[in-house]
Structure 1
């Protein structure tokens, strides 16, 4: 809450409300209230680590893997059981290691609270643990203290409080008797006696922690993997039911034989390594991002980053430097800006920690400050609203005043016309979000006559690279919106300098202005930014944008940003962020500013493309094997693959594909999003066509061999080689020979695996051996079908592109924003 918004509270009524007095509570009363209100601390609800671990065994893909493991054990195929169980445990381990973000955020928030506090108990001042404070306690605060609870100022002149980390305001605020101070803020100047109003989870700080614990949403990546898993489960159940009916009811085969057939089908239908491959792919992508100074704390953030179309950015410390800077002053008696600043420095406390005085003294320099002979100094107080110094010089003594410009102007010897002009300049600075500081002086020959020297202006300037970053984000289809706790005028001025939309809204008018839900949503959708925002507002803005279909990134550095960071699809903690912000974030930047976000977006879009390529490949291969196995059993009464062959296929197909993280991929210019309908349709088409490919090779194999074992080996080798060639087909919408071409690590891994598969087929490890002639036929056959599959893919892509609408023009952007459907 800014100075303008702070309300004076009736202290007598507040003391009566808490049944206390200026002498404080007794220890007995404090003990009773502690039992009633609880400790002045943030409650952490930690989920059982066993519960987290066991959750990894629950879900569509784990169910399929577990069913396969159980069936393997029933028919005592222990090698299959061991491999399947290993893949299951690997997936569970990876998911388990990714958990715990909310707990770390809450722990960081808890650590931000004061540890000890000076409190009046039994009529004496004592130091106690801050967690023991209760409503009605009388406490003392002074320079450097972290405020231990929500307080009401009771006695003393004033305190200057830095609440940037909690509310986002870039400048300290003044608090006088009868005003509220929030827990977690820091006293920068002054001392006061206060009454404890709220503690623990009831404080403004505690409500922020509650938002953090309740915030969060399921990622699009998780939803997509779940949908793919369900798609494959339903397909495998239908096919398994068909096999069971045919073999048990019609063919009267033994249950154990049927179980073995169903096991082969289930193992064939499980993308056993899909979670592991996707996680490892994203982990390798996260490593690449770390080289660009972006640390990923949640792997799915990589996929989310590629889809972001709105970036909500905190202002203070993110878009700006979070450092006060002197800007163009208004000169009166001073001949230059340097003269005005030098005179202003003469009215500074040279040992002050005040941010404004330090900026002025830094601008002048230590050498010039050392030359100033200050005979007397009167510090700032909230009544006089100015500092004053008596200065000795070679020409005699004179006074210098510095403070609120309206006060300084009123004290100066000026005509009404000059005074009106000066006040107009002050208003003009305020309309641009600049803080004015009046400077006046007397001369030795007339010490009682004050002359207006000038008006200094201060503000928190944008980072040097922010405008370029905003332009780069806009060019990539990302709409950047400022979300700040500062005043509307300040937000608009910074937006103007950064070429952001100045169509900003005050959060208080938006959420507390009596608007309907539809009206609020419409204003949020069309707003260019938001000012006077509190943590719950940031959280609500992000959530509403998500509900309207946007993929939202949120940047921030303070405690006030933590709830929105955790709720956003991708929360980004900027360089120098608080522990609370880092704990809630998915991506932590280790370089100042936002420029590294552009690198992260481009890298994420590349990684997203690689993930989609793998998904298309994996689903097509799974459909291929499922249908091929089922149709062979139903119509030919022949198992084309053994269970161990299918498990080996999963390893041969997926393990080398992990190097897809190193593959070359194009960067889409606009946000990319999952289009599962298109992905699954294309995968199904390629899978069905591949079934025809398999039956074609089976017919050839039957001309070479009269027994089933070598035929199975040829089919196994064909699925390994053709499977890898299928990946080259689905890498992009273009023909497989077009750029970007496969990277060397991917080629080495794939061809290395194919050589290993050829050796296994030749020597007959875990299968019957086949001749070099058969191996040659399989290789040539796979290459021919690679071109056939590419024709089907290109035809589908062309037809699908015609149906989809690509260009979406969004109000507020200077370029068309496209949401590219990745298929």
Structure 2
């Protein structure tokens, strides 16, 4: 069965039912507005179309767990564990297997959290519906609704399926969570009501035109289920693992070939014991080469970073989002409630017959209901400078808003018994009521047009003192959702960090453009309908549309698939995208984004899909999160360079000394202990003092591996140099006695101490791009961890704990040797950074010349 073709057919059917006349809809669906469907017909359609519910895809827990034990690094770790068990090295086996299980547990926990988005969407669906079956309304399970069912919706209920409204005066429906519109929408017969939206006022009857995954809500859920970007941290670990594995395999093959040649050709002696010896060498190389603790260090570092972000009012639900946020270069921000206050405000009244602005506001306030949760009524009442003036009037009769008259009318009397009638509503409706002169009517039209061009809604206000026989048009009240006080400053800070901000909203273009103008975002706001064709696949955005998306300052009138397509197109252009949102309509884009961010007050669906959840309103938390994320990313890259360089050092030392010197520089237990002493304290790097980059930072593997390889090569020279010095010392009786190096076991301890101590000194070089003795200096937890492990390593070597004992004189001179090499490695690091930076600057200069117009070339070469 062609699923995509079926989905496309269903979408076309839904689109037809959304636009054709209601009578034609009823006829096409075979539904009777007075009797509804019969129970038998409903059951038949339910079997044919399926339940009115979101589809579920079940994956067994065993399958999920098995997935965590596959992949290059996992396979190599498992191989090392199996070899350890085969040789009876159970201490090695327990440590390696424990790390493997720990990594899998962290990934399982993350996956369990990631499935919350779809579960939250399902909770938003209506559990029950009032449907007309066999000529009578009855409450049924919403999952049994089918196309053609007649459904009644009323105040406080969730719309159970996509409907075309057939009968009833009007309904005010809040569909902000679905479409992003900041105000409830007034519906009349013929309009559509979306599944998952909430009825705020009124009661109407509608015919079901789409159910389950074919509803507007369902299509959003389908996008959420299919959305999701692969973590760049995971990719980086795979690339680093593959690099180290490739090097390890080559070195292992060389070492095995040399050893077999020695045993068979040279010594003419080959047996099971020789094979086990070679297997031991391979084990040592495996344990030395695989970054067994890398996934754990990554996870713990980001987990501790998540704790730091929580103090910045940002809760991390997906750890990988931390390093993604560090590299974000485009932030797609929702408007309502994020950039704006989500509080409709009344601007300065435009006076017509009134002379005092507060007279206009007072008349509008009398025509408003305090008990009503309507946002316009609340804004009008809040605009009164003296609320007591409203209390002086007693409302005797109130006519609520309806989509036909488009106004509210109140009859009231003051404390002296004077009666007045006031009205507020759409400006044209108030003009029709008050019948002003042609000049005033034209002024109203021009005022409304001007306000509309600047994104303001307009509310007309009129008053009558003769029971409604004649009216005075008092004025026009501008209404606008104002920007948050901190939005403009935050946007400037984020831009200064190399992040472009684009507004994405479901509101009208004029409103979006005015908000963008006030915030300094730019006014190139594109209506989604002008860019995205209805039949476009959001996963395959055409080049021309992607160009428009990349250059736009923002988008208006967007639907969930538009937001998703915007994020996807930008990602396909090589951008790392952060997306903020708060509604169901934002969930697909939030999940697809590299760092989806649910803002304060977001719905469960948005929070479930997001990787970062803000607990404080506005964008200022994003600015703090970017800084913290870049610190965390800096710590991770420092560890990565350190780990790759040190791993290369250990691998080449083992192989080269085995091949050329016939000497095993480390025992297996030394390697295990060394890994613990090197990696466990390094987890405190999450607390390290790290400079905040002023540009987005991301995984640049060629640069990272180049720096790691050069430092690794220098470290190999350092280690092999000490090994050769050790052999030279053992050949001279005087030096041998002075240093206490009497046999190869002592030399193994020397190499053990050099790699443990040298490893942490290497970290001082890798943790900063500048000289290691310049600020920012290591944080206290990291510094104390390094000191503690060095102290323990020195005591182990000085007193012979686990490893053969060496003299304190030897320990002293080893440290002198390491400190000299610390300076040498620092020179290598700084020189390497300068070479890379010069190459990048040269490339950027060439790109600037190539891309610049011809008439600019002369200026570029000056």
Instruction: Identify unmatched segments of 5+ residues in structure 2.
Output: 1-16, 265-269, 730-735, 849-862
How many Å apart are 1:637 and its aligned residue?
Answer: 1.0
Quote how far apart the aligned CAs of 1:449 are.
2.2
Q: Give the TM-score normalised by structure 2.
A: 0.91
Measured against aligned partners, the alpha-carbon deviations of 1:142-174 in whole angstroms (never above 9, x if no partner) come to 111111110110111111111111100001111
Correspondences of 1:145-160 after superposition (within 5 Å): 145-160=157-172
Alignment of 1:3-82 (within 5 A): 9-22=20-33, 23-82=35-94
The match for 2:132 is: 120
Is the 1:556–1:572 contact (alpha carbons within 8 Å) kept by the matching residues of 2?
Answer: yes
Instruction: Name the structure 1 match of 2:440.
Output: 418
Report the alpha carbon displacement of residue 41 of structure 1 after superposing the two structures with TM: 1.3
Q: Which residue of 2 aligns with 1:319?
A: 339
Which of the residues 603, 606, 609 maps onto 2:631? 606
Contact 1:53 1:92 in 2 (8 A): yes
Q: Offset of 1:7 from its aligned partner?
A: 7.0
Deviation at 1:102, TM superposition (A): 4.1
1:198 positional shift: 0.8
Between the aligned partners of 2:362 and 2:155, the Cα distance in structure 1 is 27
Distance in structure 2 (CA, Å) of the matches to 1:773 and 1:757: 15
1:793 and 2:804 aligned:
no
Question: What 5-or-longer segments of structure 1 have no aligned partner?
Answer: 1-5, 811-823
The secondary structure found in structure 1 opposite 2:710 is helix
1:539 Cα deviation from its structure 2 partner: 0.2
Instruction: Give the structure-1-normalised TM-score.
Output: 0.95
Partner of 1:131: 143
Question: Where does residue 797 of structure 2 map in the other structure?
Answer: 761
Q: Cα distance 1:400–1:267, how it changes in 2: closer, same or farther (>3 A)? A: same
Higher deviation after alignment, 524-533 or 376-385 = 376-385
Q: Distance in 1 between the 2:685 and 2:41 partners?
A: 66
* Superposed displacement of residue 440, structure 1: 1.1
Partner of 1:86: helix, strand, or coil?
helix
Q: Give the distance between the partners of 1:368 and 1:147, measured in 2 at CA.
A: 39
Residue matched to 2:104: 92
CA, structure 1 residues 356+240, in 2 after alignment: closer, same or farther (shift >3 Å)?
Answer: same
1:751 to 775, 787, 791: 787
Shift, 1:671, TM fit:
0.9
Q: How far apart, CA to CA, are the structure 1 residues paired with 2:48 and 2:441?
A: 58
Residue 503 in structure 1 maps to residue 524 in structure 2: yes
Query: Which residue is 2:399 aligned to?
Result: 378
Matches of 1:732 and 1:347, distance apart in 2: 66
What is the CA deviation profile of residues 288-336 of structure 1, one whole-angstrom value per residue up to 9, with x for unaligned ones? 1111111011111110111011100011121112221111221112222
Task: Within 5 Å, give how 1:585-664 maps onto structure 2.
Answer: 585-664=610-689
Q: Which of 486, 500, 509 is matched with 1:465 structurally?
A: 486
Partner of 1:721: 757
Relative to structure 1, the CA distance from residue 315 to residue 64 in structure 2 (aligned partners, 3 Å threshold; closer, same or farther) is same
Contact 1:9–1:178 at 8 Å: present in 2 too? no
1:776 — aligned with what? 812
Q: In the aligned structure 2, how far is the partner of 1:460 from the partner of 1:163?
A: 17
| Alignment partners' CA distance in 1, 2:768 and 2:526 | 43
Over aligned residues, Cα RMSD in angstroms? Answer: 1.9
User: Separation in 2 of the partners of 1:350 and 1:724?
Assistant: 68
Query: What residue is the counterpart of 2:115 in the other structure?
Result: 103
Structure 2 distance, partners of 1:451, 1:518, is: 56
| Deviations 1:102-161, CA, capped at 9 Å, x for gaps | 420000000011121111122221111212211111111111111111011011111111
Residue aligning to 1:531: 556
* CA–CA distance in structure 2, aligned partners of residues 493 and 47 of structure 1: 47
Contact 2:363 2:423 in 1 (8 A): no
TM-superposed CA distance for 1:684, in Å, is 1.1
Matched residue SS, 2:111: coil
**What does residue 817 of structure 1 align with?**
none
In the alignment, which residue of structure 1 is the partner of 2:726? 701
- Out of 564, 567, 579, the residue aligned to residue 542 of structure 1 is 567
* 2:194 aligned with 1:204: no
1:149 & 1:7 partners in 2: Cα distance? 13
Q: Which moved more, 1:331-340 or 1:552-561?
A: 331-340
CA distance in 1: counterparts of 2:142 and 2:560, whole angstroms = 23
Q: Is the 8 A contact 1:409 1:419 kept in 2?
A: yes
Q: Report the CA distance between 1:99 and its aligned residue.
A: 1.2
1:346 Cα offset (Å): 2.2
Aligned partners of 1:514, 1:555: CA distance in 2, in Å?
Answer: 26
Task: Call closer, same or farther: CA 1:387–1:8 in 2, change over 3 Å.
Answer: farther
Q: CA-to-partner distance for each residue in 1:408-450, whole Å, 9 max, x for gaps?
A: 1233343322221221001111111111111112234x95221
CA contact (8 A) 1:102 1:213 kept: no
Q: Which residue of 1 aligns with 2:591?
A: 566
- 1:631 is displaced (CA, Å) by 0.5
- 1:249: how far off? 3.2
1:681 aligns with 2:706: yes
Partner residue, 1:348: 368
Deviation, structure 1 residue 807: 7.0
Partner of 1:818: none
Could you tell me which residue of structure 2 aligns to residue 335 of structure 1?
A: 355
Confirm whether residue 143 of structure 1 aligns to residue 168 of structure 2: no
Residue matched to 1:665: 690
Q: How many Å separate the matches in 2 of 1:268 and 1:354? A: 67
Quote the Cα distance in structure 2 between the aligned partners of 1:368 and 1:50.
69
Q: Distance in 2 between matches of 1:377 and 1:720?
A: 83
CA distance in 2, matches of 1:674, 1:351: 55
> What displacement does 1:782 show?
0.9
Task: Please give the alpha-carbon distance, in whole angstroms, between the structure 1 residues aligned to 2:256 and 2:319.
Answer: 40
